[in-house]
Amino acid sequence: MKDIKALTSQSEYLPLESIFINPVSNTFMGNSEINTQWKALNYLSAPDYETAIAEYSIFEAIIKEHPPDVQFFSKDNTPSLDALYCRDASIATDHGMILCNMGKAARASEPNAQRKVYEKAGIDILGSIEAPGTMEGGDVAWIDTNTLAVGHSYRTNEAGIEQLKGLLNPLGIDVLVVDLPHFRGPTDVFHLMSVLSPVDSNLAVVYSPLMSIKFRNELLNREFELIEVPETEFDTLGSNVLAVAPRNCIMVKGNPITEKALLASGCKVITYTGNEISIKGGGGPTCLTRPIHRRI
């Protein structure tokens, strides 16, 4: 039996031990379903199903090379294309999962679908964000094991943040609120992790033009080295990087400047083609995964 004291859910960079993913075959369901949804969900264009299946198979193979425990969410009866981005429906903590309340109405069924999977797997539920609060997992990131940054965005509102504080503050966890910009407006997919990806205890990939001065200075005060993503690589998800271990990263192919900067900082980088599964829907590798435990 594994020593649970050697595992944590409160990290974005430690070696992955267990993770959930939600395959394209569960969520896209075919070109007909894609064609009825993509415009309403504000995708850049309609993903091609067969190409998406091929892209995802490569992404899944990369993931399976790392954590020993890879599990799958079940196919929901009311799938949304966005359910592919399974990070958003829940938040992992050492005290159990927090189920989100999605700021995007079309994704409302996802947290309960994940609840059923967690309960079946014997994973504790710490609590839920309830209306009028909204919260999406892409808006939260562990800065250290006792500090959870949360973006105040169009997807995560003040009421949701207050509920999150109510769940975590009594456990000795500090919730660091980060104001996010209007940018492209309420229909765009823009989360905290659109501009921040911690890849080690003192290294983060960032897109500074859309970060608040206060939060960027907070990272610098905590002695983070910042890898700056250029404007030309923001829309291709250069700032959305999944760490499978310290300085061991997965990112979308087509961001050579950011990739080179990661390599120069001593990182290992694996890339995948993600035009259909990532770029069109605005969800990079952190969005495509729900890490549960990492090794301390």
Read off the pLDDT of residues 243-260 as tens digits, 9 standing for 90 and up: 999 999 999 999 999 999
**Contact predicate 194/136, CB 8 Å:** no
- Residue ranges of domains in the chain: 18-295
What is the pLDDT at residue 29?
A: 86
Tell me the average pLDDT across 270-280: 98
What is the pLDDT at residue 247?
A: 98
Q: How far is CA 244 from CA 202, 250, 266, in A?
A: 15, 7, 15
pLDDT at residue 45 is higher than 80: yes
DSSP classification of residue 278: I
**Contact predicate 58/274, CB 8 Å:** no
What is the pLDDT at residue 1?
A: 42
Tell me the average pLDDT across 130-148: 98
**What is the residue-wise DSSP string for 108-120?**
TTHHHHHHHHHHH
Q: How far is CA 47 from CA 83, 86, 271, 275, in A?
A: 14, 18, 19, 8
pLDDT tens per residue across span 79-122: 789 999 999 999 999 999 999 999 999 999 999 999 999 999 99
What is the pLDDT at residue 189?
A: 87
Burial class (CB in 10 A: 0-12, 13-18, 19+), 53: middle
CA angle 246, 168, 83 (to 5 degrees): 65
pLDDT at residue 206 is higher than 50: yes
Q: Token digits for 150?
A: 């949360």
**Contact predicate 168/148, CB 8 Å:** yes
**Contact predicate 202/182, CB 8 Å:** no
What is the pLDDT at residue 77?
A: 65
* Total-model pTM: 0.96
Q: How far apart are CA 177 and CA 191, in angstroms?
A: 13
pLDDT at residue 3 is higher than 70: no
Q: Token digits for 274?
A: 């993600």
Closest CA to 89 of 117, 67, 113: 113
Amino acid at 69: D
Query: Would you say the C-alpha torsion 29, 156, 89, 142 has a positive or negative sign?
Result: positive
What is the pLDDT at residue 2?
A: 47
pLDDT at residue 9 is higher than 80: yes
Q: Which CATH architecture has domain 18-295?
A: 5-stranded Propeller (3.75)
The rounded mean pLDDT for the chain is 96
SS3 call for 25? helix
Closest CA to 129 of 104, 93, 95, 103: 103
With a pLDDT cut of 90, the percent of the chain lying above it is 94
